[in-house]
Structure 1
Amino acid sequence: MKINLFMKKQQLRFKNNNIIWFIVGILFLPMFVKAEEESELWLNPYGITGMTHYQLEYGPGEEISGIKDNVKLSDNLPFLGAGITGIYRGVSVDASFVTSSGLLGDIEQSGEYSDPNLKNIFYDRDIHLKRRTWNASLGYELLSNNSENLVIFAGYKQAKTNYGWVDHEYKTRNRNSAVIGIPSKDNEFNTDGWFLGINYSREVDIFWGHKGRLGLNFSYAWLDGELETRRTHKEIEGGLRSRTRYENVLSKTRGRTIGINWAAGLPFLGEDWSYSIFLEHSDYGFEAKSGYFTDTFFSDGYTHEILDLNSYDAKETIYSINFSVSYFFD
């Protein structure tokens, strides 16, 4: 069956435009407020660094493709980022961007699997992995005094995870033997959607009168997922042959994020400086809703619908520790 993907791409492009305008509105809202009451507005730019333990699992791919694909990523990603928060009369807006691009080298793996003829194939794999996230949110203080705060918030977030790999396949465990195949893959897993959450924090005395705030954070998200995959398998044994398969799968999920946060001042830099340490865990199970593929195995050149989507249900698990330094303008 021939499928036209133009309308789906247009829908995704329209959704991305909504994200852009939402973030622009979040960023510029404090500027409009400032014209009315400059003395009650605080702007808080901050820098972020930290480490994410990222896990992504799905597969194996359809048997009809003839290209096995069982994804089980699990690695630590260092990241850098920046953000800005505006606060006015109990209303806060926040926008941030975080990326791991250029901070991690290739991941090396080795293993074996059985081909359709039940022969063992041994492989060495080089994986590249990077992840970028955008967040924008609007919050409101339900409770605020010298000792505790309670804030509800809502917002939009988007994440792009890019990974790919190149295998060198061998007939035996001896890597000095001739290479019999070179499979490769480029993959992009995009997620975006709305979230709603609550944060409670309380002032805590540390030592010698130095105080900080300990907070708990919980949010729930409704996300859309899009998985785009291009796999190529070059068979060298018996003459060079190449086969390419492209897949596009759309999915949905609902998931939670929990976190704990510590924030305190940096008096040696001045009263307007502060730091924050944030531990966070997110867990999402994406259910595939629709999918399409093209495969050079077929001579018709058409785009076909993926009928068995169970293999494309994805599980994404994220653990992260963030450290940020911020400065308050008033």
Structure 2
Amino acid sequence: MNKPAPSVAIAILNWNGKKFLESLLPELQQLTYPNYTVYVIDNKSSDNSVAYIQSSYPAIKVIELDGNNGFAGGYNKGLSLLNEDYYLMINSDVEVSPSFIEPLVSMMESDTTIASSQPKLLSLKDHTLLEHGGAAGGMIDFLGYPLCRGRIFDASETDRGQYDQETEIFWASGACCLVRREAYWKVKGMYNFFFMHSEEIDMCWRFISEGYKVKYCPDSYIYHLGGGTLSHQSPRKTYLNFRNNIIMCFRNSPWYVNLWLIPTRLVLDLAAALRFLMNDWNNCKAVLLAYKDFIKWLIFEKDKFPAKKKALWSIPFVLKTSVAWQYYINNIKEFSKLKKHEL
């Protein structure tokens, strides 16, 4: 007798995303995977999203939350009610192919130490480009600056098949990733304080600290719009990215690493603020506010630290060079070329 397919909870976090759901939900009815349930976790939308789902797709289960809990809090609350083997966390601003789930599940089932897997993310606006929010898997440098295989800062690569090999990565994109339920709760899910941005990177760091793997699955792909909540130029996005990233580095790094990492990051991030100052005071101010609130977090926030920590430089596939130096000084815009250059 064939073993039944593992159960998958397709969990869409929604906040006023009715216009995106109108495109995505019909596609999810055409999936070929045999054992899945679609859930919409709603962060108290005011655009009639819930009424639309209930009238147009009564089979889809809606989890209505009592307020806007953000990305991390919304998923933590919603997923705590689900018992499927895997959580497929997926944004509403995506297009999917009917068979995109099977390769992800197959990869996870082949190795129980894989906590999460990510498909290839291509741009919904231009299907030839790897998409900003995940591309061919998330990576990080030893200073804690994130990047993607196929996207460094604002430079996205054309997909030429250069990242069509299965590989271990540092983080799987929250735009679309399959997560093992057991692993999710072992690391206590995403960090609620972050609200949105960097939460999946922080969670994947904790997966790795606990001995799990995160992998990229090139046989699965989706198209992602990106910027559906905040545009890339938004000062709010800048603030959350800088604040959450420095908090993530501090809370996941051993104390002896923080002795040099945090001062180094302060210098580099202030340089970024000065760069913004040239033509964008609001984004400059966002970086300064991020550090002000990092200090407040240090003083007032409780339950700051995960059970286990792991220094970035001790992880084999973490870049041992500064991605900012490579990008801005050496003018390297492609991930595949980073390993060929040193400072």
TMscore range, shorter length: under 0.3
The structure in which a higher percent of residues are strand is 1
Give the TM-score of the pair, scaled to structure 2: 0.20
**Larger Rg: 1 or 2?**
1
The structure in which a higher percent of residues are helix is 2
Give the TM-score of the pair, scaled to structure 1: 0.20
